[in-house]
């Protein structure tokens, strides 16, 4: 119980940001991440996220690949340009090996194909937090 | 011996005169040529009377004509009155009928002259031409030289008379001939006149036709110029495809002269693979199944290279005056064809890529649409489980996520029905239409594709076809699909004509039936079962959607689509649509 609370409090200080244009993802994924014990912020676009004050607090980014306006790839490039080394987990409904390879080369932690299991997400998050 | 020399001199003068007389007599004959007997005798008598100082010279000539003889006389200068030739004849009668060997003879009291020496001369060896009597009162008549001159003159005259007689006979013959010729000529002239009249009559008729003839001639000239100067090849062949004539362009296209072409048939210079189709089309022309046809085919040029030609061939039926022939207008499309062939590979590659790209784009879109709600379902369900597993379980959270799971499930189901709506045209417009018209439009649209594939399409459209109620465009898609299926099935057929028969007919239940019969690879029994399943294909670049979509369209029209194997090559695809009950 104590361990759990400690663990929980540590994790609560870790902010996972979800950026996805799909409402159902913004609705469901944060609940799951909260179940994992993280603090979660959700945005419907990359611009919205960049405009927010949350950038500095972000421990890990769960980013949709294809979005209207700035895409997940564009945001990845923008963050690198700004010198921000935030671990990114890409989520996408489309399987595309060439894009997958490209974003991984650019430093992404993982690319998860929707629909993904909770364990696959958990594993990717662990990797992003440097727990593995 | 002056006397002797004098007489010798006299002798010489005498002989000289005789020679001169003889020369004159001989020269006389030159003037007789073509002359009449009277002229011959008259001329020589005139000369003899003066040369020999005769008192008279008489001739009795036997005539071949009715009169027993003709008489003629010339007298010297000593006569007071000259008796007629007949009177001389009577007086000379005893000597004329006597022995000519008794010449010279002497007649006394000859027309009051006491003594007249007569010399008788025969004309002809047996006196068959006549007799001449020369008379003189001189005592020394006839001297040797005078006899000689008279004999020679008589001989000359005989020859002259003979020639004259022959000539007159010839003239008679020729005049006979001339007469007959003249008669015949007259007859001919009469006939000629009749002909002239007839011709004149005909001409007056022809005169009326002259304008027409001139126009025809002009037209003929015009066509000849078209033939000679046409920008396309023009060739005429008989019904065995033997070449009759070719214009300069055609000769240039194939590289043979007209003379060389006359020794060949069209099929001889056609590339082997294209011959059967060509032969079949010509046969159909001859059988009256078609009036003309278009074909894109290859010729062997004289230099061994290949010429692609686009030919329009029509049949010109023979008349009484001219035999029928095949008229070919030929256009060199080698450049276009080789460009097309080069493009073909690229095109089929591109088509495949385009299809694959379209498909992957489509797949991606479908995947995205479905995976989004699926993702929500999985995430919510996972969250729900975690909330239930909690200590204490978060029941409120679990209920909420379970509700979202159901909601996302419904959303996924909406996506699939949206996709179905997208792929099947639900707003089909049903109308009454004629299947024949719809078919003709599809055939017209497919002409270039059929030609590119060297496929001959033969429509056999029924006249008593009922109208059908349906979506005209969708049915046309089905027809096009079946046609495309047909020519695709024949794409590797090289050993026989690539033919498609499109037939419409009234079926047993009064509906409209359309069949597409090809001579392609056919269907094996194994394939036949799966033929109409979606995504089943035997084609390299096929999607396997055509036939299943076609069947679903036909079934939506309460119809039926099926396939049968032909007895020979290929397959036949058929569909039937019930007749509209509104009609």
CA distance A28 to chain B (A): 5
Q: What pLDDT is stored for residue B172 in this prediction?
A: 65
Place A46 in a pLDDT band, splitting at 50, 70 and 90: very high
Per-residue model confidence (pLDDT) at position A12: 67
Q: Is B460 buried (19+), middle (13-18) or exposed (0-12) by CB count in 10 A?
A: exposed
Of the candidates B386, B387, B404, the beta carbon closest to that of A27 is on: B404
Q: Which residues in chain A are contacts of B380 at CB distance < 8 A?
A: 28, 31
- Cβ atoms of residues B349 and B250 within 8 Å: no
Per-residue model confidence (pLDDT) at position A32: 93
**Whole-model pTM above 0.80?**
no
3-state secondary structure of A34: helix
Tell me which of A35, A36, A64, A94 to substitute to probe the interface with B (most B C-beta atoms closer than 10 Å).
A35
The answer to whether A25 contacts B380, with C-beta atoms less than 8 Å apart, is no
Of the partner residues A31, A115, A117, the one whose CB lies closest to the CB of residue B371: A115
Identify the residue whose tokens are 């082997």.
B272
Yes or no, beta carbons of B387 and A35 under 8 Å apart = yes
Answer yes or no: do A28 and B401 touch at CB < 8 A: yes
Encode pLDDT of A57-105 as tens digits: 999 999 998 888 888 999 999 999 999 889 999 998 877 788 889 899 9
The beta-carbon neighbor of A115 closest among B378, B390, B404 is: B378
Tokens of B188: 């001919």
Asked if B373 lies within 8 A of A116 by C-beta distance, the reply is no
Q: How many residues does chain B have?
A: 583
Of A25, A94, A117, the CB nearest to B376: A25
The answer to whether A28 contacts B411, with C-beta atoms less than 8 Å apart, is no
Yes or no: say if B479 and B459 are a contact pair by the CB < 8 Å rule.
Answer: no
Asked whether the beta carbons of residue B377 and residue A115 sit closer than 8 angstroms, the reply is yes
Q: Are strands A88-92 and A110-113 parallel, antiparallel or unpaired?
A: parallel
b vs e for B166-199, b when ≥16 Cβ sit within 10 Å of the residue's Cβ?
Answer: eeeeeeeeeeeeeeeeeeeeeeeeeeeeeeeeee
Q: Which tokens is B441 given?
A: 């439009």
Among B380, B382, B404, beta carbon nearest to A117: B382
**Residues B484, B490: Cα–Cα separation, whole Å:** 10
- pLDDT at position A4: 46
**Within a 13 Å sphere around the CA of B517, how many CA atoms are in the beta-carbon half?**
14
- pLDDT for B359 equals 55
Per the CB < 8 A criterion, the answer to whether B302 and B277 are in contact is: no
Cα–Cα distance measured from residue A109 to residue B161, given in angstroms and rounded to the nearest whole number: 154
Two structure tokens written together for B284: 């159909």
Q: How far is B544 from chain A (nearest CA, A)?
A: 25
From residue B403, alpha-carbon distances to A34, A128, B395, B408, B414 in Å are: 18, 31, 12, 9, 17
In this complex, the residue of A93, A116, A118 whose CB is nearest that of residue B372 is A93
State the distance between the two ends of chain B, measured CA to CA, in whole angstroms: 162
Cα gap B227→B229, rounded to integer Å: 6
CB burial of B255-270 (b: ≥16 within 10 Å; e: otherwise) equals bbeeeebeeeebbebb
Q: Which of B369, B374, B375 to mutate to test binding with chain A, by most A CBs within 10 Å of its CB?
A: B375
Instruction: Please state, rounded to an integer, the average pLDDT across all residues of chain A.
Output: 87
Between chains, do A25 and B408 touch, taking CB under 8 Å as contact?
no
Tokens (6 digits) for B189: 């002239």
Strands, sheet with B571-577, edge to edge from the N-terminal-most edge strand: B455-461, B498-506, B512-518, B571-577, B560-565
Helices A72-81 and A97-105: crossing angle in degrees, nearest 10, is 10
pLDDT of residue A1: 43
Q: From B493, B477, B480, B487, select the one nearest B457 (Cα to Cα).
A: B487
A-chain CB neighbours of B378 within 8 Å are 115-117
Strands (E), B278-433: 292-300, 306-316, 325-332, 431-433
Write down the pLDDT at residue B178: 59
Residues 6 or more apart in contact with residue B154 via CB below 8 angstroms: B121, B122, B123, B132
Which of A18, A20, A21, A31 is the best substitution to test chain B (most B C-beta atoms within 10 A)? A31
For residue B62, the cross-strand partners are B69
Render pLDDT for B537-549 as a digit per residue (tens, 0 to 9): 555 444 445 677 7
Q: Which of B340, B335, B261 shows the shortest CA–CA distance to B305?
A: B335
- DSSP 3-state of B500: strand
Whole-angstrom Cα distance, residue B537 to residue B549? 13
The answer for residues whose C-beta is within 8 angstroms of residue B392's C-beta and 6 or more apart is: none
Residues of B in contact with A116 (CB under 8 A): 375, 378
Question: DSSP letter at B300?
Answer: E
Q: How far is A55 from chain B (nearest CA, A)?
A: 25
SS3 of B258, please?
helix
Q: How far is B477 from chain A (nearest CA, A)?
A: 33
User: DSSP class of residue B308?
Assistant: E
CA distance B140 to B240: 107
Cβ contact B56:B135 at 8 Å:
yes
Give A-chain residues touching B404 at CB under 8 angstroms: 24, 27-28
Most confident of A3-7, A52-56, B27-31, B204-208: A52-56
Q: Which residue of B has its CA nearest to A25?
A: B376
Q: What is the pLDDT of residue B1?
A: 44
Instruction: Return left, alpha or beta for B53; rule: phi > 0 is left, psi -120 to 50 is alpha, else beta.
Output: left
- pLDDT of A62: 96
Q: Which residue of A has its CA nearest to B369?
A: A93
Look at B376 and A66 and tell me if their CB atoms are within 8 Å. no
The ipTM, to two decimals, is: 0.82
The three-state secondary structure class of B465 is: coil
| Angle at alpha carbon of residue A32, lines to B388 and A74, rounded to 5° | 170
Closest approach of B420 to chain A, Cα-based (Å): 20
Q: Which residues of chain B have pLDDT under 70?
A: 1-7, 29-35, 64-67, 100-101, 167-182, 184-185, 188, 202-203, 206-213, 340, 342-365, 418-429, 529-546, 581-583
Contact A32 B404 (CB under 8 A): no
Q: Inspect the interface and report whether the beta carbons of A28 and B379 lie closer than 8 Å.
A: yes
Are B229 and B215 contacting, i.e. CB atoms less than 8 angstroms apart? no
A92, containing H or E segment: strand A88-92
Q: Which residues contact A114 (CB under 8 A, 6 or more apart)?
A: A25, A91, A92, A93, B371, B372, B374, B375
What is the 8-class DSSP label of residue B580?
P
Residue for token pair 């008729």:
B205
Alpha-carbon distance B352 to nearest alpha carbon in chain A (angstroms): 20
Q: Where are the alpha helices (DSSP H) in A1-132?
A: 2-12, 23-36, 46-51, 72-81, 97-105, 118-128
DSSP string, B101-164: GG-SEEEEEETTEEEEEEEEEEESTTSSSEEEEEEE--TTPSPHHHHHHHHHHHHHHHHHHHHH
Name the helix (H) or strand (E) containing B246.
strand B243-246
Residue in chain A closest to B387 (alpha carbons) equals: A35
What is the C-alpha end-to-end distance of chain A, expressed in Å?
24
B383, B398, B402, B407: best to mutate for the A interface, most A CBs within 10 A:
B383
Spatial contact of A37 and A59, defined as CB atoms under 8 Å apart:
no
User: A107 to chain B nearest CA, in Å?
Assistant: 24
């Amino acid at each position: 119980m104590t361990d759990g609370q400690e663990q929980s409090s540590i994790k609560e200080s870790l902010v996972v940001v979800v950026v996805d244009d799909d409402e159902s993802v913004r609705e469901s994924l944060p609940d799951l991440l909260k179940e994992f014990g993280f603090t979660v912020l959700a945005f419907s676009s990359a611009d919205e996220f960049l405009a927010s004050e949350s950038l500095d607090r972000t421990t890990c980014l769960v980013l949709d690949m294809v979005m209207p306006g700035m895409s997940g790839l564009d945001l990845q490039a923008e963050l690198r340009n700004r010198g921000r080394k935030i671990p990114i987990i890409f989520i996408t409904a489309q399987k595309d090996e060439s894009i997958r390879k490209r974003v991984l080369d650019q430093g992404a932690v993982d690319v998860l194909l929707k629909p993904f299991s909770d364990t696959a997400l958990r594993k990717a998050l662990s990797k992003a937090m440097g727990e593995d | 011996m002056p006397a002797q020399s004098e007489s010798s001199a006299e002798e010489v003068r005498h002989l000289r005169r005789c020679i001169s007389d003889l020369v004159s007599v001989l020269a006389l004959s030159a003037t007789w040529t073509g002359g009449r007997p009277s002229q011959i005798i008259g001329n020589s008598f005139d000369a003899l009377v003066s040369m020999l100082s005769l008192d008279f010279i008489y001739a009795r000539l036997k005539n071949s004509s009715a009169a027993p003889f003709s008489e003629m006389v010339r007298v010297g200068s000593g006569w007071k009155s000259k008796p007629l030739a007949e009177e001389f004849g009577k007086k000379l009668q005893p000597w004329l009928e006597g022995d000519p060997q008794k010449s010279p003879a002497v007649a006394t009291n000859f027309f009051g002259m006491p003594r007249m020496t007569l010399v008788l001369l025969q004309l002809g060896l047996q006196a068959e031409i006549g007799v001449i009597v020369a008379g003189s009162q001189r005592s020394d008549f006839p001297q040797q030289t005078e006899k000689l001159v008279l004999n020679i003159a008589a001989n000359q005259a005989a020859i002259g008379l003979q020639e004259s007689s022959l000539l007159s006979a010839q003239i008679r013959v020729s005049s006979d001939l001339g007469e007959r010729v003249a008669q015949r000529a007259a007859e001919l002239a009469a006939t000629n006149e009749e002909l002239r009249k007839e011709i004149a009559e005909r001409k007056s008729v022809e005169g009326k036709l002259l304008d027409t003839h001139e126009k025809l001639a002009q037209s003929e000239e015009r066509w000849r110029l078209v033939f000679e100067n046409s920008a396309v090849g023009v060739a005429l062949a008989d019904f065995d495809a033997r070449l009759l004539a070719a214009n300069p362009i055609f000769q240039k296209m194939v590289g043979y002269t007209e003379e060389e072409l006359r020794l060949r048939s069209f099929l001889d210079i056609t590339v082997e693979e294209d011959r059967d189709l060509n032969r079949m089309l010509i046969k159909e022309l001859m059988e009256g199944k078609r009036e003309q046809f278009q074909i894109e085919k290859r010729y062997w040029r004289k230099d061994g290279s290949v010429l692609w030609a686009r030919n329009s061939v029509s049949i010109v039926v023979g008349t009484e005056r001219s035999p029928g022939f095949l008229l070919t207008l030929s256009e060199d499309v080698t450049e276009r064809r080789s460009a097309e062939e080069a493009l073909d590979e690229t095109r089929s590659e591109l088509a495949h890529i385009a299809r694959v790209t379209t498909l992957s784009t489509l797949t991606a879109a479908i995947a995205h649409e479905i995976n989004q709600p699926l993702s929500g379902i999985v995430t919510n369900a996972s969250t729900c489980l975690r909330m239930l597993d909690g200590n204490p379980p978060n029941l409120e959270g679990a209920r909420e996520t379970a509700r979202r799971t159901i909601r996302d499930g419904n959303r996924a189901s909406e996506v699939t029905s949206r996709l179905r709506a997208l792929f099947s045209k639900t707003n089909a417009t049903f109308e009454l239409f004629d299947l024949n018209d719809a078919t003709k439009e599809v055939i017209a649209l497919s002409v270039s594709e059929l030609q590119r594939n060297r496929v001959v399409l033969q429509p056999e459209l029924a006249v008593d076809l009922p109208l059908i109620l349906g979506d005209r465009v969708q049915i046309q898609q089905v027809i096009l699909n079946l046609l495309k299926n047909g020519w695709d099935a024949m794409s590797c057929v090289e050993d026989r004509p690539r033919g498609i028969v499109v037939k419409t007919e009234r079926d047993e239940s009064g509906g409209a039936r359309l069949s597409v019969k090809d001579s392609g690879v056919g269907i094996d029994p194994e394939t036949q079962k799966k033929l109409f399943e979606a995504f089943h294909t035997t084609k390299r670049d096929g999607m396997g959607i055509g036939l299943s979509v076609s069947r679903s369209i036909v079934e939506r029209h309460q119809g039926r689509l099926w396939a049968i194997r032909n007895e020979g090559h290929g397959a036949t695809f058929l569909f039937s649509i019930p007749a509209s009950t509104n009609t």
